[in-house]
């Protein structure tokens, strides 16, 4: 397992979640906000750091397109997914952009987190659109990729972000629900005159442009959460700490990620339809990683903790607020998260094991009584049931409303 996975698993459901969260004294909403900003800064710092390492690996691969260098670039992609998936809990901006002087565009940064996310992590992706661009005549650069993203009002015409990079590194997965990910050969990028067609340089140009844009976008988002940003009107950090609806935003984000995203789009759609195209990382077969770390994002937002080899953030949390007002409610949510964590870790573990791993697309293909499918369905059902407890927080925390909307990607 890689360094990010090891550091986070140390305080996961393998050791009961509540054991990682000692009883706390009363905390203020202001303290919870400050800790949340610190977590966001850490998660996006790690996301940018790993994206830069991915870019470096891609550069090495393009310079010397060997199978060994392709594997190193793929490993760097996997590493980059871990902190980014945890940051997704922080992407909904509908609550913290209301009111006076909270315009996100005021500082020159992203005007909408959802729009920014659509350039960074949009899916599902129709690889035919990327292939058509590579086969075309236009110069491949960042501007072209941005212009073609969502072309013809088709959300599947994704040309930017992590899944465009994923497709370029792996190619299409033609194995369906059987074992095996995409099998793109390093020779698709051959620069020594041995290219099997006329498109190797254009593939290299595309992979490089997509990776460079990913680094640029994450640089922009990190700038929204720095200590300096917190003092600057129009940034996400400033708007969050100054919003009367910040706690609403946190609860709404947990609900949206747990139910709309994880339980529905990222897990149950594939399980119900039996379609591996519905999985989040369908080219690389790394959906088990994406699912697990999305759930870590839910836990992070609730417990006020973010851990990696580079950062350790802990402090006043939403859990503390709930516990101080209604300990029974906290205990029910804590118990639910612990139970879900156990199942999510089982999905991660079986996908990561060295011998005969079972990836999420294989789980999708299992019969209804398949061991891993039963675990995945149980996790989905428990995520949906958790929403009942989260709705009750409206009264417990005196929230004005809980916004679980968000178009997500």
pLDDT tens digits, residue range 175-233?
Answer: 999 999 999 999 999 988 889 899 999 999 999 999 999 999 999 999 999 999 999 88
| Domains identified in the chain, total number | 1
For residue 65, being part of any structural domain is answered with: yes
Best CA proximity match to 376, nearest among 339, 409, 346, 336 = 346
Position 3 scores a pLDDT of 47
Position 7 scores a pLDDT of 43
Does pLDDT of 248 surpass 70?
Answer: yes
Position 19 scores a pLDDT of 39
For residue 313, being part of any structural domain is answered with: yes
For residue 402, being part of any structural domain is answered with: no
CATH code: domain of residue 61: 1.20.1420.20
CB distance 249 to 95 below 8 Å: yes
Position 121 scores a pLDDT of 93
Position 73 scores a pLDDT of 98
Position 21 scores a pLDDT of 47
Task: Tell me the DSSP string of 208-260.
Answer: HHHHHHHHHHHHHHHHTSSHHHHTSTTSHHHHHHT-TTHHHHHHHHHHIIIII
Position 404 scores a pLDDT of 53
Tens digits of residue pLDDT in 50-91? 999 999 999 999 999 999 999 999 999 999 999 999 999 987
Residue 314 is classified by DSSP as: E
Mean pLDDT of 229-252: 89
Mean pLDDT of 114-122: 87
295 half-sphere exposure, CB direction, 13 A CA radius: 33
For residue 29, being part of any structural domain is answered with: no
Does pLDDT of 46 surpass 70?
Answer: yes
For residue 28, being part of any structural domain is answered with: no
Residue bearing the bigger pLDDT, 159 or 244: 159
Percent of the chain with pLDDT over 90: 75
Q: Which of 22-31, 41-50, 157-166, 297-306 has the lowest mean pLDDT?
A: 22-31
Which residues contact residue 187 at a Cβ distance below 8 angstroms, ignoring those fewer than 6 apart? 65, 194, 195, 196, 200
Does pLDDT of 41 surpass 60?
Answer: yes
Does pLDDT of 403 surpass 60?
Answer: no
Position 10 scores a pLDDT of 41
For residue 401, being part of any structural domain is answered with: no
Please tell me the distance from the alpha carbon of residue 217 to that of residue 229, in angstroms, as a whole number. Answer: 16
CB distance 184 to 296 below 8 Å: no
Position 106 scores a pLDDT of 65
For residue 407, being part of any structural domain is answered with: no
Please tell me the distance from the alpha carbon of residue 29 to that of residue 321, in angstroms, as a whole number. Answer: 8
Q: Where are the beta strands (DSSP E) in 248-338?
A: 305-307, 312-314
Most confident among 7-11, 21-25, 281-285 (mean pLDDT):
281-285
What is the domain range of residue 308? 37-396
For residue 300, being part of any structural domain is answered with: yes
Q: Output the average pLDDT for the chain.
A: 89
């Amino acid at each position: 397992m890689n360094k990010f996975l090891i550091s986070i698993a140390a305080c996961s459901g393998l050791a009961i979640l509540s054991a990682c969260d000692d009883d706390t004294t009363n905390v203020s909403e202001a303290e919870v906000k400050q800790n949340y900003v610190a977590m966001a800064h850490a998660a996006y710092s790690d996301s940018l750091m790993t994206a830069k390492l991915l870019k470096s690996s891609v550069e090495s691969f393009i310079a010397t397109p060997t199978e060994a260098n392709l594997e190193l670039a793929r490993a760097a992609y996997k590493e980059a997914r871990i902190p980014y998936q945890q940051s997704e809990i922080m992407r909904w901006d509908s609550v913290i952009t209301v009111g006076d002087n909270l315009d996100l565009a005021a500082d020159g940064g992203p005007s909408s987190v959802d729009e920014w996310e659509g350039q960074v992590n949009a899916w599902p992706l129709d690889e035919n659109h990327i292939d058509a661009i590579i086969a075309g005549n236009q110069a491949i650069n960042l501007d072209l990729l941005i212009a073609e993203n969502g072309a013809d009002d088709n959300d599947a015409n994704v040309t930017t972000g992590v899944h465009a990079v994923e497709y370029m590194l792996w190619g299409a997965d033609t194995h369906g629900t059987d074992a095996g990910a995409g099998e793109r050969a390093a020779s698709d990028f051959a620069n020594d005159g041995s290219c099997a067609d006329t498109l190797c340089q254009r593939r290299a140009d595309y992979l490089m442009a997509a990776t460079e844009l990913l680094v640029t976008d994450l640089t922009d988002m990190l700038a929204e959460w720095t200590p300096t940003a917190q003092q600057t009107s129009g940034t996400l950090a400033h708007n969050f700490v100054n919003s009367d609806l910040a706690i609403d935003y946190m609860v709404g984000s947990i609900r949206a990620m747990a139910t709309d995203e994880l339980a529905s789009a990222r897990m149950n759609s594939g399980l119900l339809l039996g379609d591996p195209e519905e999985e989040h990382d369908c080219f690389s077969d790394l959906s088990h990683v994406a699912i697990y770390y999305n759930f870590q994002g839910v836990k992070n937002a609730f417990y006020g903790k973010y851990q990696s080899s580079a950062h350790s953030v802990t402090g006043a949390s939403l859990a503390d607020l709930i516990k101080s007002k209604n300990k029974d409610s906290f205990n029910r949510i804590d118990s639910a998260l612990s139970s879900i964590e156990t199942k999510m870790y089982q999905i991660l573990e079986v996908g990561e094991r060295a011998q005969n791993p079972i990836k999420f697309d294989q789980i999708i293909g299992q019969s209804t009584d398949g061991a891993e499918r039963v675990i995945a369905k149980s996790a989905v059902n428990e995520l949906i049931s958790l929403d009942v407890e989260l709705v009750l927080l409206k009264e417990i925390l005196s929230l004005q409303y809980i916004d679980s909307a968000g178009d997500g990607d």
